[in-house]
Amino acid sequence: MYWKLTLLVLASVFPPDFGRAQQGCSNIPNSLRFDCYPEGEANEQSCVNRGCCWAKPVIEEENVHVPLDIPYCFYPNDYGYQVVNKQTTPTGYLLSLTKRGHPGPYGREIENLAVDVRFETKDRLHFKVYDPNNKRYEVPITTPKVETEATSLDYSVTVTNFPFGIAVTRKSSGTVVFNSSVGGMTYEDQFLQMSSLLPSDVLYGLGEHSAPLLLDVKWHRGSLFARDVATPEGFNYNLYGVHPFYVSLERDGNANGVFLLNSNAMDIVLQPTPAITFRTIGGKLDFYIFLGPTPDLVVQQYTEVVGRPTMPPYWGLGFHLCRWGYGSLNGTETVNANMRRYGIPQDVQWNDIEYMDRHLDFTVDQSKWGGLGDFVKKLHENYHQHYIPIVDPGISCEQPAGQYRPYDIGLSMGVFVNSSSGEPMIGKVWPGQTVFPDFTYSVTQAYWDQMLADFRELVEFDGLWIDMNEPSNFVDGSSKGCPDTSLDNPPYVPHVLGGTLRGKTLCMSAKHHDHSHYDVHSLYGLTEAKNTMSALEKVRGKRSIVISRSTFPSAGLHGGHWLGDNTATFNDLYLSIPGILNFNLFGVPLVGADICGFNGNTNKDLCGRWMQLGAFYPFSRNHNTINANPQDPAAFGDDFAHMARDVLLIRYALLPYLYTLFAHSHMRGSAVARPLFYEYV
């Protein structure tokens, strides 16, 4: 009776395969522990219940990085999928996998998987892990279509049968650049995970974050999910853009790169093994491995996949000036004239949302900004300058029927993102209640073409600044909230700012024409940039500029980026440098930060140093917010203006060189602004 009672108690605490799980837990060193309870607050029972190992680290490390450390709950070394079949294909081979052991923790596990391994070029491997029996979301960007296997390879590939893992080795050195035979690969409907050992702890990329260039692999977690936030410092904060791509330096100086083509919300965990874990909540595990062997070749190989950067017009590389707070057209004209009075070079004048009538897109406030169109013509004809206004994606839906064409036409064309119940989803942005164009829908291009053509009849702009396109929303989800669905409340939520996916954006269950917002949220800025550049080329008939806040891989193909709402501090001046260098690795070389800082009041010393740095940004623009002190180069007196003129004249003397670098970037994908390691490994 005693033994029966004991067995019943043990069975209530531990699952039937507890012994199997514990067998796979022996002799796993701290360095090979991969977190099996990423939502946190695990205990021994909850850990073992999901088939994982529970043990305190053998050695407690000091000065660990909160909130991550060596996990107490970690994957056993026999957790995952088993290869059950392999067949040759024209591009490589196809593997069939079957899940073994304990089911995953988040539900709807996919038991049978396929792995398409493609030897696409001598220095590029592409492998995709997917469900062969059901169609899953796939990122809709254009990538190379390869029909046959490359005839020679700089790498070899080996596969571990159980647990399944794929390892990529550089033939010339024997260095293993990618090895996923660790960490418990998981593939559920809303939780996909793959880990890999890294060849060294020297790692760059994985943006967008406001952080130092060299990533710290000592237990750090970053999240990728487009978010409107004023650039908090740290790898753990998700910002405007999503770029799951890194460049790694090997111990002998060779470089490699890894790209996960996935647009769902994700966590990326770095640990001092060194190793990396990609953890996403949708789509597929679609990896590209680039063999370099130089950083420049890695970036070239990456942009060959996502698209070469656009070639900006020459004037776009000049100095740009803007602020939110000119107050009127007269204020803009005064600052623009002061620049000429001091002889300070300026190619482009910008305006923020204050030029609009009640913040309505494609309108001009006639009370304070009447004559804006004539001012722009004068810039063109008299001063050989160009003009860029801001346009936000939120279209007001509050105006009386027939009085606001952008809403009326968009509604008739059916181009707005809908709620799960089928009507346009209503959020709130600057003009009040708004709806949001679905830029993934092919019909929206014709709508956007018409809106920009109509607006250009009022103001003959030369480029466009697209902001608030994460998309940003002043209410969480919608004006009616969000339904309780698995998309709006997934079983696992990456560690994004605010803790929910709907924070400051749309409901994840919102319907795009062919997709849910859950899948394409982080593509919103990219698809708007693509539509905007296409429309600009039609209405202008020549090369133009689009500067977007939110970005995704291939954004550089359609425009550039500024680093968002920074602050007037020396620390933000410093952080602008890794930000710009990272975006050059991401294939978005036309990038800069708001010179002198956007938020807060700058001072003469800080702004002077920032002008001296910003004169050499690839995209060079001074900009700041409403109610802050003026910070244009003519605002601080004669000596400052003369300094600004001198340093900008150096920039202009170097423009042929800068233009040539952009031509090389456009043709072969190289970076324009380059960190020292890029040239001198």
DSSP 570-600: HHHHHHHHHHHHHHHHTT--SEE-EET-SBS
539 contacts: CB under 8 Å, gap ≥ 6? 449, 452, 453, 456
Could you tell me if residue 356 is inside a domain? no
pLDDT of residue 389: 98
CB atoms within 10 A of CB 144: 12
- Residue of 485, 395, 401, 405 whose CA lies nearest to 431: 395
pLDDT of residue 129: 98
Could you tell me if residue 228 is inside a domain? yes
Report whether 585 contacts 205 (CB < 8 A). yes
- Residue of 86, 90, 65, 79 whose CA lies nearest to 28: 79
CB atoms within 10 A of CB 600: 15
Number of domains in the chain: 1
Report whether 400 contacts 381 (CB < 8 A). no
Q: CA-CA-CA-CA torsion for 478, 482, 487, 488, nearest 10 degrees?
A: 90
* Positive or negative torsion for Cα 647, 652, 657, 663: positive
Could you tell me if residue 113 is inside a domain? yes
We report the CATH number of the domain holding residue 90 as 2.60.40.1760
DSSP annotation of 29 reads: -
Q: How far apart are CA 93 and CA 19, in angstroms?
A: 36
Ranges of residues in the chain whose predicted pLDDT is under 50:
1-21
Report whether 15 contacts 45 (CB < 8 A). no
pLDDT of residue 15: 42
| 3-class SS of residue 420 | coil
Could you tell me if residue 336 is inside a domain? no
Give the helix ranges, DSSP H, for 384-442. Answer: 405-413
Q: How far apart are CA 110 and CA 96, in angstroms?
A: 12
DSSP annotation of 269 reads: E
Q: How far apart are CA 394 and CA 425, in angstroms?
A: 11
Could you tell me if residue 431 is inside a domain? no
Could you tell me if residue 159 is inside a domain? yes
User: Domain range holding 168?
Assistant: 80-293
Q: How far is CA 545 from CA 164, 449, 586, 624, in A?
A: 46, 16, 18, 20
* Average pLDDT over the chain, rounded to an integer: 95
Could you tell me if residue 73 is inside a domain? no
Could you tell me if residue 161 is inside a domain? yes
Q: Please list the active-site residues.
A: 467, 470
pLDDT of residue 660: 98
pLDDT of residue 16: 40
Q: Got the DSSP string for 151-165? A: SS-SEEEEEETTTTE
pLDDT of residue 117: 98
CB atoms within 10 A of CB 90: 9
240 contacts: CB under 8 Å, gap ≥ 6? 208, 226, 227, 228, 229, 470, 525, 549, 550, 551, 564
Quote the pTM value.
0.95
The side-by-side arrangement of strands in the sheet containing 202-207 is 80-89, 92-100, 112-121, 124-130, 285-290, 255-260, 243-249, 202-207
